[in-house]
Every structure is written in structure tokens, then in C-alpha cells.
Structure 1
């Protein structure tokens, strides 16, 4: 909510006047600017936090996130490395470093960082998910399936992981497993549009059963009859 963010900025600005030497205040202000998409302002406040307290880890991670969102992946990588010099066991810094490497298509380095994040925090669901994506890009399909399954096991409501796992099974022509995955996703959430799209895709493309596919696409339109959804359903036939 932009109104709430604006209020948070006003409060943080007031706090910087009250406590001008407090690095945490500048970090908080940087984080709020980041949430508003005002990355240059976020960066300047993160940098001020680091000036005041060079051993404060959070602003380095904040800088990395801001740079990454701006497409400045090398700058992001440098900041995450600085964070990890301060604390080599920060799972989030390893995870974000993995994301930055992934944005540069440096999948081997990304894999290494995701594994470190998982080693530190085995419940790090997004690390499992993104590790699966890296394995998929490298055509290491069994490893990808394993990591998607771990993401789902640790968070059974993680809809995107079900969808990506189902699509991978489709691509490998393991259609029954693809269908089972979509059905499991729908047990969690009956309104998960991508699961119906996946079922429609399986029926239409892989099994040449247009009638069954149309039933699934109609369910999508019942949930969300907006133009974007109609386009998504139409594209599934193309």
C-alpha cells in the first residue's frame, strides 16, 4: 500500500533527525524506498547505514537487492559477497547471491550458492525451487524434479512449484505424473488457475482430447473471466 509506505518514509525521516548516528534508521528508510521502487534513494540510505556501521550486514543485502532489481547484477554480487564476509552463514545472502548469478546465466555458481543456503537452512523453500530451475536449465531433470519435490514437501501450498514440476513432467512426456501433480495442486487450492491450464495443456497437446481440455479451460474462466485469463486460455491452444 503506497499510502502506508509514504507514512513509513515520513516516520523514518523523522527518526533520522532524532537519531542521526543510528545505522538501523537509515537501513529502514532504504528498505522502504526499495519497496516503493525508488532504488537510487534506497541505495544512498543503505550506503549511509554502512558508513555509520560497516559491520551491519542488512544494508549490504539491501544494496544487493536494489542493484539486482536495477539490472546491475555485478554490483549486486559484490554487495552479497561483502555481506558473506561479515557472516558466511547468512542463508539469505547466499540465496540472493545465487539469484544474481542466475540472472547472469552463471548457473554453476548459482547452484553452489543455493546449496550453501540449504545447508544452512534446510527449510529454505525458495532455494530448493530456484535450485530446481537451475538444474532444469542444465537438463539435469532428475535433480530438478527432486528439488521441486523438496520445495513442495516443505511448503505444500507452494503453487508455483507444483506448476513448474507439472510442466517439467509434461516436457519429459511423463503425462500421468504431470496430471497427478496438477491434481495435488488443486487439492491445496481449487482456484489455482495454472493447474487447470496445465491439465488443459496435457489433454489438448499430449492426448489429443480437446473436449477434456475445454472443460479445464472453462474452469479457468469461471474463476477469473478477465481478458488476461481468456488470453492465457487461448494461448494454451497455440
Structure 2
């Protein structure tokens, strides 16, 4: 099935990293033209969010869990009706039934989806989780191995495999699986915690302590890891370490009791369930978008954004849709939301800067792109586009050259050498301009623009 289960979404949130995309330069010959293109993130994962404020008195009543479930099921069933026989739509409906607690119906749909698309890792992961919840750990392990074979980077699959192995008493295989997950996802604190558990069972206390310490370094409020750390320290004769770890455990234990009580109502809490519905609507919208029904996709993504005030995927999808349809101001508004929701993600900031340039707000675009260069110094996109913008406006020629040179140093791509050639030409260095443009044309021989730019420069000599 083409969509992740809710648990996989949660895992992906932990392992998500900022990803700078490739920017396709659309310029003129030697003096780079002003057209810029934007590539919004096509997929993402919503973060924890609060539903929009309740309506004012006299407005519509607040949503209930039952109403949200009905909306979620209606959307998934309609999507399947509009895309009959589509494995992704079938799997999505299975996910919905699973979130409603009907695992039998969910498994039936997942099996049908896998029959249509046996190489979908999400389907195998969903089936594995269903088996795990039924305590069929051998079957779960088999399915998670299949998931990992289909997608070695599937979020947390090795961690789950490790849990299944641990419950089957296969200690060494559990250690290997948890270790693979910790290596693949450096912020996977749970894998370090479980490594501490398994290694303690094997009386490898020094190794266990190291993993417990890593777990609490990654998640300082990870209560149960402090308890494991205290026991490991005690076994190693480290009385001071054991005392400090137990002190932290005691401090955090009280707040955890309250948190556990809150978690009991997750499935009956409208605010929490609204996030699930938003994720479903986002996935439905992606199916419609793939089928060319953009108006329906927009409707679903807007509803998802209204339900989940911090959902990223639906907003990124809306931004891309608006950019593709020439609605740059609406696209920029979504970019600003994404910058607030994921302040550490330079992709959103870059997108905003490009849109600001397209909207003619050069000063804002310059500030934004300069910040991208600061925050993502190992990626060439911000440097190249800021250099291009200076060249387009006929200003700061020396700064444009420095930025373009930095972009080409970071990534020796055809687009970067093209802008570098334009910057050299603007600064009067025809020899270096020719060399850079020749390099661009050699790296991308199918690009007529690069060849024409080089030939025009040579004709002027």
C-alpha cells in the first residue's frame, strides 16, 4: 500500500532530516535571465499539532471522535471508489480501519493490496505490526525482514525486527537489528535503550551503560533509560553514577505517570484523532493529484491543514500546487507556515526566497537566500540562486562571483558552472568565463542553453 501506517509516520518524524533538493537553473545566455523555478517538497510528515481553536459561540459544534472517524472513513472509501483496484487506495482504507480498531478488516485489505503490489514495503510493515500485536512474533519478524529487503532505509524497521527477536529470546539477532537501526538513524534513542536492555541480560554491563547513556543524551527526559542506566552502573560498581541516574529517574517518574494517564485517552481525544484524519486526507489528496484531479486534491489538503495546525505534508503539497498553477502568493504563504513549523529545515526557507524573487520582492529574497547560505553552507543551491539574482539585477558583481565560485566548489554541477561563467563574464574575465561555460556544456551536453552561452561568448572575443 502506498501510504505508511500511523506508527510508521511517527517513526519517520523522529528520523526526518532536512533535505535540500536540486534546483534547475533557468537563465539567459551569459547575462543570466531572471526566471527562477521552485520545487516544493512533495511529501513530508506532519508533526505534533493542536487542532484549530474551537468555534465561537453560535458557530458549528466542535468535532467529536465519531464525526472525525466518519469523515476519515468516508474520504478513504470515496478515494477507493474513484481509484478502484489501486493498491495504494486499498491499503489506505486498511490503515483507516486499523486506526478504528478493526484489525481483521484492515488485514483483509492489506492482503488485497499486497496481492496487487507485492513489493510495497509499507504493506509488509503494516502486516508485520498486525502480527506483532497478535503476539505472532515469528511472523512479524519474517514480514519485517521482507520490509527491510524491499527498503533498507524504511523507518525503524530494524528496531521493530529487534523487538520481535528480543521477545523470541534471540538475543544476538536482536542486538544486531537494534545496532543496524541505531547506525542508520543516529537519533533513534529507543534502539540504544533496547540495546542497553539486551546487553544487560547478557551481563555485558559496560556496553549496556554506554547505550543507556546514549539514549538519555538523545532524549534527556527518557525516564526508563535512567533506571536501566542506574542498574548498569550498580553492576559495574559505579555507586556515584548509579545514584545520579536513580535521582533523575525519580525526578521524571512523577511526570510520566501524568503523561501515561493522558495517553490513555489518545484514541478518544478529538484533537489527537484529528491528526490521524489529516494524515489520511493528505494521502487521499496525493492519490487524486497523481490522477490529475488537482481541485479535489487541493480540497483535501486544505481540510487536512485545517484539522492539523502543524501538518507539514499537506502544506508542502499545497505550496507546490500553487507554484505550479501560478499562484505564487499563496505558495509563499504556505512556505512561511512551513518555515515556522520546521525552522530547522532550510528547504522551506530556500523555497520562500525563490518565491519572493518571483514576486518581485528582491530585498526580502536577498535576505532569505543569504540566511539559507548561512544555515546550509554545505549545499550549493542558496549560493547559486543568490548569485543569479545579483546578476539578474545587475548589482554586486563581485559578490555574485564569490557566491557562484562557492556554489561550484561545493558541487561541481553544470548549473553551478553556468552561473559561475556568467559571473566571470559580468566581472570582465572572459577567459575564466569561457572555461566555466565550457565545463557546464561538457557536464550537460544536451543543454542547448549552455552551448549557446559558450558560443556567444567565444564570438565576442
Partner of 1:157: 221
Shift of the alpha carbon at 1:193?
Answer: 5.8
Name which one, 1 or 2, has greater alpha-carbon Rg: 2
Partner Cα separation in structure 1 for residue 242 and residue 255 of structure 2: 15
Partner of 1:24: 88
Instruction: Indicate which of 179, 184, 194 corresponds to 1:120.
Output: 184
Partner of 1:192: 255
Higher normalized helix content (fraction of residues):
1
Instruction: Indicate which of 87, 96, 108 corresponds to 2:151.
Output: 87
Shift of the alpha carbon at 1:145?
Answer: 1.1
Residues 26, 45 of structure 1: 8 Å contact kept: yes
Structure 1: which 5+ residue stretches go unaligned? 195-222, 227-238
2:201 corresponds to 1:137: yes
Partner of 1:63: 127
Instruction: Indicate which of 113, 122, 128 corresponds to 1:49.
Output: 113
Partner Cα separation in structure 2 for residue 104 and residue 13 of structure 1: 38
Shift of the alpha carbon at 1:182?
Answer: 3.4
TM (norm. structure 2) is 0.39
Relative to structure 1, is the Cα distance of residues 185 and 57 closer, same or farther in structure 2, using a 3 angstrom cutoff? Answer: same
Shift of the alpha carbon at 1:28?
Answer: 2.5
Residues 91, 118 of structure 1: 8 Å contact kept: no
Shift of the alpha carbon at 1:57?
Answer: 1.1
Partner Cα separation in structure 2 for residue 42 and residue 171 of structure 1: 46
Equivalent residues in 2 for 1:70-109, closer than 5 Å: 70-109=134-173
Q: Which runs of 4+ in 1 moved over 6 A?
A: none
Relative to structure 1, is the Cα distance of residues 14 and 163 closer, same or farther in structure 2, using a 3 angstrom cutoff? Answer: farther
Relative to structure 1, is the Cα distance of residues 136 and 33 closer, same or farther in structure 2, using a 3 angstrom cutoff? Answer: farther
Partner of 2:291: none
Partner of 1:235: none
Cα-to-partner distance string for 1:129-168 (whole Å, 9 max, x where unaligned): 1111111111111111111111111111222212332344
Q: What RMSD in Å do the two structures reach over aligned CA positions?
A: 2.8
Residues 209, 229 of structure 2: 8 Å contact kept: yes
Structure 2: which 5+ residue stretches go unaligned? 1-63, 262-461
Partner Cα separation in structure 1 for residue 203 and residue 249 of structure 2: 24
Q: Report the more deviating stretch, 96-105 or 7-16.
A: 7-16
Secondary structure, counterpart of 1:89 in structure 2? coil
Relative to structure 1, is the Cα distance of residues 190 and 137 closer, same or farther in structure 2, using a 3 angstrom cutoff? Answer: closer
Larger relative contact order (CA 8 Å, sep ≥ 6)? 2
Partner Cα separation in structure 2 for residue 136 and residue 14 of structure 1: 51
TM (norm. structure 1) is 0.71
